[in-house]
Structure 1
Amino acid sequence: MIERYEAESFLVLAEELHFGRTAERLRVSTARVSQTIRKLERRVGAALFERTSRRVELTPLGRRLADELRPAWEAVGAALQGAVDAGRGLSGSLRVAYVGAAAGQLLIGVNELFRERAPDCEVRLKEARPTEAVRWLRDGDADLCLGPLPVHEPDIVCGPVLVREARMLAVPAGHPLDRPGGASAEDLAGVPVVRLPDGMAVPPRRADRAPGPAAESVQEALTHVGAGQGVLPVGAHARRYYPRPDVAYVPLDGAPPLEWGLVWPRGHATARVRAFTEAAADLVGDGR
């Protein structure tokens, strides 16, 4: 039976046809490669390579062995890797929810990188309303969710911040706050503010802010804004993903940035969840 290191040395040398490059790929010395090949040739009883001072070539017997051994060896490697991935939980499926169009676009890139690393894991993306996200995580309908941070729920874990963006203020087109200089937090005193579920785009509530109509989605909230029923603090992404002729977006000075990240149920940080979270952090870190 051929040993693992013998098979690897033989197949790499059959591909490189150069002892030095083979040694570099295997991270061993050139002498070690030569000793391994000579040992294998003694076991076979014939030369597998023709060596000269200028080149290395496969003999007919060596070429036949390479052609027959490579598919079998690759199958062994694939089977072993599949077992490792299954043992680490990187196969199966992963259900990832997201809140809003911007989060969905970010997840497309994260999914591509994750699938490169875990090709046997199927990722299912699904948009959630703000009122649905935490319930889906609790009910097991989603393993992860990408949305605004933080989520103040004891049974929900917040991952690292992936994106920070400036706050803007959505106001009715032509409103007194629709001005180049934007608005400040003080300008919101007495102005109705459309209410979204906790953890969405609205800064912490203050007593001097008049409550506006409630909404369950950003689009619904912007409809209230366009109708002149209030204003809505949002992230800067809203200018791109929610352009409307009846709504203007102006800078909101003094408001904390809006942060986005992945969240999951406490106690459910599986290997798939960890790997997907790492892919998200790597993607953002690489600036892709």
Structure 2
Amino acid sequence: MVERLELEAFLTLAEELHFGRTAERLHVTTARISQTIKKLERHIGTPLFDRSSRHVELTEAGRRLHDDLRPAYDQIEAGLQRAANAARGEREVLRVGFLGAAAGQLMVGAARLFDRRHPGWRALPRELQIVDSLRRLRAGDVDLLIVSLPHDEPDMVTGPVLFSEGRVLGVSCRHPLARRDSVSLEDLAAVKMLQVVGGFPDYWRADRTPDRTPCGRPVEPGPPFETLQEALALIDADEGAFVMGAQVSRFYARPGVVYLPFRDAPPLEWAPTWVATRTSPRIHAFNQAAQDAAARGSSGPRGQLPDAPGR
């Protein structure tokens, strides 16, 4: 008979691939997690993880077990939570993660619309940081995340574009480029490009922090950062530059930072994403509410930057 802790330990370790973080999430000791996994492996009769001093990886048997268990476990957990909520007279919560003020503004409006349409449910917007947003989505800290494209993760589903915005280059007011009215992608060769900390996929880095211009000129890497405020502080200090959405000029104005629009870069598009095995009617319903909220805030079919409430 497999115990609940064995399932939780296995599924959490399969996501984290780290015994310490798994123990923290489950509020037990690392030794308890190790013992629990060994017990489960004895019960099944085969190793589920390859372990070394440097890394933890799923075995082929572990991957198959994870793919079989994850959907069923999530469904059971959701059913138990719904029953508990109903017993307490509470509404079922959908946690919606977002990055940046514009996406947050849209999510608040979408949450209001979602709540009015579905009295038994409630949407809870939560701001995340870019450095750990995908990890937290996979870990289940949020059910849905609004991301900037490109986004192509095999285990995730990407919904329709909600809004788009032009790209700008954030530079120090002391940088020579700051005297211009606009920039080209070729001008990236004249700056040090700040680097986002974390294991972001190559396709995202190529789009947002390229190492070469379209004509092949090298782009010098700059200091790393974890949050937008860190990036703006580095730009203000003339330590580097970064490509951002035009929303920064509205929501993150700073005297020492100049935002220069690109003449030749495609717009940034924002869309919802979620883990494929956790698809639910709530997610589809919220996506519809978000699309409707975005459409109400603009005249375009996809929307531009969402207007402020009441505008």
Q: TM-score, normalised by structure 1?
A: 0.65
Q: How does 1:110-129 map to 2 (within 5 A)?
A: 110-129=110-129
Distance 1:100 1:235 in 2: 10
Task: Determine helix, strand or coil for the equivalent of 1:178.
Answer: helix
Which entry has the higher C-alpha Rg, 1 or 2?
1
Distance 2:180 2:195 in 1: 25
Is 1:206 matched with 2:216? no
Letter in 1 for 2:128: A
1:229 corresponding residue in structure 2: 239
Distance 1:179 1:162 in 2: 33
| Unaligned residue ranges in structure 1 (runs of 5+) | 1-85
| Unaligned residue ranges in structure 2 (runs of 5+) | 1-85, 213-217, 299-311
Distance 2:113 2:187 in 1: 43
2:288 corresponding residue in structure 1: 278
Letter in 1 for 2:195: R
Task: Determine helix, strand or coil for the equivalent of 1:177.
Answer: helix
1:94 corresponding residue in structure 2: 94
Distance 2:206 2:229 in 1: 12
Shift in CA distance, 204/211, structure 1 to aligned 2, threshold 3 Å: closer
RMSD of aligned Cα (Å): 2.0
Contact map agreement 2:195 2:209 (CA 8 A) in 1: no
- Per-residue CA deviation, residues 33-74 of structure 1 (Å, 9 max, x unaligned), is xxxxxxxxxxxxxxxxxxxxxxxxxxxxxxxxxxxxxxxxxx
Distance 1:260 1:195 in 2: 21
Q: How does 1:136-285 map to 2 (within 5 A)?
A: 136-196=136-196, 198=200, 199=204, 203=208, 205-207=210-212, 208-285=218-295
Contact map agreement 2:211 2:221 (CA 8 A) in 1: no
Task: Determine helix, strand or coil for the equivalent of 1:267.
Answer: helix
Contact map agreement 2:111 2:125 (CA 8 A) in 1: no
1:59 corresponding residue in structure 2: none
Distance 2:206 2:124 in 1: 25
Contact map agreement 1:202 1:232 (CA 8 A) in 2: no
Q: How does 1:54-69 map to 2 (within 5 A)?
A: none
**Equivalenced residues, count:** 199
Q: TM-score, normalised by structure 2?
A: 0.60
Shift of 1:245: 1.1
Contact map agreement 1:201 1:235 (CA 8 A) in 2: no
Letter in 2 for 1:165: E
